[in-house]
């Protein structure tokens, strides 16, 4: 952890160093201007001591800019100033300052205020870490570890907005496990859970870009969101997933189509971002999935509105 001191006066810097270096269990980092201080910011900084009167960017402007930066807006800032006028202090607090120390300051006051703010900073970091962990947990499926339905709904809404604004494509894959009820009846629900975990993990491994996500949609059903992807590209991804899941070689003696566990997949693309809704895109993928399951299973089907042309190539069905 570190304390950043932003002050253009070398004497003030030396005095702060003298008062704090023996009492504070933190590295002291110095900058002689507002801009230099901003450029010095990093994740180790837990407190900032900031002078108001400096050449170029003054303390008030510097404070405002730091508080506008998402990564550093929660770092407490103590204003160090010889100006004790009410209007100056009001501007400092309005800019985001947490406290102030008047110049000339004494060692006891400086140490007390700094220690108090360091404790506050540590507590804020702990709270943020807990909130981040809770947020992460709230978006994950408890069984498979992939994203959950809630997160998918949020991301689909966001990605459809992006596609509408930028005129970029968006595709979706919906798939579920063939004869999964029979699998559970035959091998037990614990084995079924393990199968779902394996399917989720191998599906995630087929995704190559950070923006692509696989989510558990419900039960044995999964959904994959592919931003900036046309339906032909999504079809390729879906086929890679289908083959990878089949390659797991999970025995399924009660399947009507294979000796191992397989999946059927439906693929759809957002064709009219301004007219279509998230539920319509899901409905299209679901229609393609339904067609796959009713035409042999263990295949990928791409949706189009005509639903009349179907060609069987190897183990796939194009709609």
On whether both 155 and 127 belong to a single domain, the answer is no
Inside any domain, residue 302: yes
Inside any domain, residue 154: yes
Domains held by the chain: number: 2
- Rounded Cα distance between 116 and 40, Å, is 23
Domain boundary among 131, 158, 181: 131
Q: What is the pLDDT of residue 193?
A: 97
On whether both 46 and 84 belong to a single domain, the answer is yes
Inside any domain, residue 142: no
Domain boundary among 66, 97, 131: 131
Q: Which helix (H) or strand (E) holds 36?
A: helix 34-40
294: domain CATH number is 3.30.70.270
Contacts of 109 (CB under 8 A, 6+ apart): 101
DSSP string covering 160-229: HHHHHHHT--EEEEEEEETTHHHHHHHH-HHHHHHHHHHHHHHHHHT--STT-EEEEEETTEEEEEEET-
77-81: strand order across its sheet: 27-31, 2-6, 45-51, 77-81, 99-102
Tokens found for residue 44 = 């180790």
38: domain CATH number is 3.40.50.2300
Instruction: Return per-residue pLDDT of the chain as tens, 319 residues.
Output: 889 999 999 988 998 888 887 766 778 999 999 999 999 999 889 999 999 989 889 999 999 999 999 889 989 999 988 877 788 889 999 999 999 888 888 888 888 888 888 888 788 778 877 877 777 778 899 999 999 999 999 999 999 999 988 899 999 999 999 999 999 999 999 999 999 999 999 999 999 999 999 999 999 999 999 999 999 999 999 999 999 999 999 999 999 999 999 999 999 999 886 778 899 999 999 999 999 999 999 999 999 866 434 433 334 443 3
On whether both 124 and 201 belong to a single domain, the answer is no
Inside any domain, residue 136: no
On whether both 200 and 312 belong to a single domain, the answer is yes
Closest by CA position to 269, among listed 178, 199, 205, 174 = 174
Inside any domain, residue 141: no
Domain limits at 12? 2-131
Question: Which residues are part of the catalytic machinery?
Answer: 220
Inside any domain, residue 121: yes
Q: What is the pLDDT of residue 306?
A: 60
On whether both 155 and 92 belong to a single domain, the answer is no
On whether both 91 and 197 belong to a single domain, the answer is no
Inside any domain, residue 139: no
- Rounded Cα distance between 95 and 61, Å, is 8
Q: What is the pLDDT of residue 26?
A: 77
Domain boundary among 96, 131, 166: 131
On whether both 170 and 234 belong to a single domain, the answer is yes
On whether both 52 and 88 belong to a single domain, the answer is yes
On whether both 103 and 193 belong to a single domain, the answer is no
On whether both 65 and 171 belong to a single domain, the answer is no
How many beta carbons lie within 10 A of that of residue 51, not counting itself? 24
Inside any domain, residue 267: yes
Contacts of 264 (CB under 8 A, 6+ apart): 175, 176, 178, 289, 292, 293, 297, 298, 299, 300, 301
On whether both 123 and 154 belong to a single domain, the answer is no
On whether both 120 and 212 belong to a single domain, the answer is no
């Amino acid at each position: 952890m570190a304390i950043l001191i932003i002050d253009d006066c070398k004497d003030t810097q030396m005095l702060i160093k003298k008062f704090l270096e023996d009492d504070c269990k933190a590295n002291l980092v110095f900058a002689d201007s507002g801009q230099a201080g901003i450029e010095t910011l990093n994740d180790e900084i837990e407190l900032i001591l900031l002078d108001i009167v400096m050449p170029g960017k003054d303390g008030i402007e510097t404070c405002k800019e730091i508080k506008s930066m998402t990564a550093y807006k929660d770092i407490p800032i103590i204003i160090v100033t010889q100006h004790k006028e009410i209007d100056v202090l009001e501007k400092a607090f309005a800019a985001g300052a947490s406290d102030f120390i008047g110049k000339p300051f004494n060692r006891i006051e400086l140490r007390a205020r700094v220690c108090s703010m360091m404790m506050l900073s540590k507590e804020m970091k702990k709270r943020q870490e807990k909130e981040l962990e809770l947020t992460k947990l709230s978006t994950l499926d408890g069984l498979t570890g992939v994203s959950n339905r809630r997160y998918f709904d949020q991301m689909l809404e966001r990605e459809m907005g992006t596609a509408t604004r930028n005129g970029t494509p968006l595709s979706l894959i919906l798939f579920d496990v063939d004869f999964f009820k029979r699998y559970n009846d035959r091998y037990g629900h614990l084995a079924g859970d393990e199968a779902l975990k394996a399917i989720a993990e191998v599906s995630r491994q087929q995704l190559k870009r950070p923006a692509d996500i696989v989510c558990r949609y419900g039960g044995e059903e999964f959904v994959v969101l592919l931003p900036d992807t046309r339906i032909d590209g999504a079809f390729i991804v879906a086929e890679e997933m289908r083959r990878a899941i089949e390659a797991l070689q999970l025995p399924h003696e009660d399947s009507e189509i294979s000796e191992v566990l397989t999946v059927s997949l439906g693929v759809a693309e957002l064709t009219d971002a301004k007219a279509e809704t998230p539920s319509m895109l899901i409905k299209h993928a679901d229609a393609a999935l339904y067609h796959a399951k009713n035409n042999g299973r263990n295949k990928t089907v791409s949706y189009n509105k005509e639903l009349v042309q179907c060609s069987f190539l190897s183990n796939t069905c194009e709609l």
